[in-house]
Chain A
Amino acid sequence: MNNDKEYQFEQLVRRHKRTIYTVCYMFSHDKAEIDDLFQEILIRLWKGFDTYEGRSDAKTWIYRVSLNTAINQDKKERRRIETVPLTVDIDPYEADDPSTHQIRELYDRISRLDLIDRSLILLWLEGVSYDEIGAIIGITPNNVGVRLMRIKDKLVKMSTKE
């Protein structure tokens, strides 16, 4: 029974590994921080797996837990956990080829936003609906639209300044 649960969890996490990794990347400053945050999110997902059990859309749930953890987790506390390194053979912070350079550029822009705006733009880029974004952040869909307009303006201003 427990093995079955672990298997289901493993499948779910493998399906959404990129979503979790993207959140970790956008909310961290180096690879070690990504590893720490990724593991903390996995721990929270596993602990909440019983309460989830398909009650809501998996992607929304994973985003909610990942963003809540990224914003709320105390970095000093996170460092105290023994972390298992992720299996990633690129360093998204080091632009050594054109595609990594693109990723790095995206990171540079998004990381200048505050944490809530960062969450909003990530969800928008991921194609999550305004209703779902509102449910994750805790604001109305109308408010999501207004906020996103402002964030997009900010991002455009950033690139014109550059």
Chain B
Amino acid sequence: MENKNNNNLSELDQLKAQYETLKERFDQQEIINDRLLKSSIKNSTDYYTRYRRRQFILYPLFAVIGLLCIHLFQGNDLSIMLFWIVFLSVCFAIEIWTMRKLKIKTMENNDLLTLSNQARNFKKLYSLYIAQYPIPVFILTLGILFANTEFSRLPNMGAFIISLGALVALFVGVSIAEFRYKTKHCDDIIRQIEASEIPTDNKIRLNRQQKWFCIAMSIVFLGLDLWAFMIVAEHAKLPPKRPHEEYVLEYERGTDDFTTEGTLEIRPVDADTVAISSELLGGK
């Protein structure tokens, strides 16, 4: 026993001696230079600031791409456009707010365990957001798609269902990947604390502000879900819109066709009625 203790002491003494050597060697080094100090003071952008900057670029980009898609597929549909802008604004506000939970000041004033608890809180808030945000977009996209599709005319219903399934799977996949990417770092921190067997409060305790935030976020997303339903319902009432294009088919009279002569013109109209020019049919 005594031997073991002596062994331990000598090992720790060796460790301390090595640390003293390290201190001496590092003390002799200049380490810091003026350029480094100036650069740190000048470019003091932390992860949160960089993240916020990125969001300020990405969200307007999403807005423009979304509006272009709406314009291409639905024309100038103001209700959908307004929905898209409001939806993106809500997502932007939530992302910025949740990221603030990990912002710089907490790094300076909190201990490691508090930081790990903050990481848990962030994960909880973010998972709640990720679970809710795709729903209104799903409702709107799928609803409008169904409202615009005439199933009786679909050449291949199976292929349509598979494409739809693939679209949904893609959206879910992207959401999960995004969640994993953004919370991976939090997981690393939490894992470190758990691996160190330091007694932690494993139960996630959101503070009052965070609880209110969760409630408000759920209400807002519920509102967006309802709004999306209303837009879909409105579109389901209307006849499906088709772009006004002229299709002119050259019609060659068959040898056994004694009905008419000339060109057959087909004009798609709003109600999808095929109008055959009576003039071309010789007024019949």
Q: Interface size of A by Cβ–Cβ distance < 8 Å?
A: 69
Task: Please encode chain B, from 43 to 62, with 1 for each CB lying within 8 Å of some chain A CB and 0 for all others.
Answer: 11111001000000000000
Are A86 and B33 within 8 A (Cβ)? yes
Residues of chain A with a CB closer than 8 A to B43's CB: 43, 81-82
Distance, CA A74 to CA B264, complexed state (A): 67
Interface string of B34-76 (1 = CB under 8 A from A): 0111011101111100100000000000000000000000000
One of A39, A44, A109 near B15 (C-beta < 8 A)? A109
Q: For A10, list chain B residues within 8 Å (CB).
A: 37
Measured CB to CB, the nearest residue on chain A to B185 is A74
Q: Are A137 and B108 in contact (CB under 8 A)?
A: no
Contact (Cβ within 8 A) A21 B26: yes
Using an 8 Å CB-CB cutoff, how does the interface string of B101-119 with A read, 1 for contact, 0 for none?
Answer: 0001101111111110001
How many angstroms from the CA of A105 to the CA of B18 in the assembled complex? 8
Q: A interface vs B, CB < 8 Å?
A: 6, 9-10, 13-14, 17-18, 21-22, 25, 38-39, 42-44, 46-48, 51-52, 61, 64-65, 67-69, 71-74, 77, 80-82, 84-90, 92, 99-100, 102-103, 105-106, 109, 114-117, 119, 125-126, 135-139, 143, 147, 152-153, 155-156, 159-160
Q: Are A87 and B37 in contact (CB under 8 A)?
A: no
For this complex, 23 residue pairs linking A to B, each with C-beta atoms less than 8 Å apart, are A9-B41, A10-B37, A43-B40, A67-B112, A71-B115, A77-B50, A84-B33, A86-B33, A87-B33, A88-B29, A102-B21, A103-B21, A106-B18, A106-B22, A114-B196, A119-B112, A126-B19, A137-B113, A137-B198, A138-B114, A139-B113, A156-B8, A156-B12
Q: Tell whether B208 is near chain A: CB-to-CB under 8 Å.
A: no
B12 touches A64 (CB 8 A): no
- A contact face: mostly helix, strand, loop, or mixed: helix
- B129 CB, min distance to chain A CBs, angstroms: 20
B25 contacts A by Cβ under 8 Å: yes
Chain B residues with CB under 8 Å of A153's CB are 8
Q: At the interface, yes or no: B271 with Cβ under 8 Å from chain A?
A: no
The minimal Cβ–Cβ distance linking A20 to chain B, given in whole angstroms, is: 8
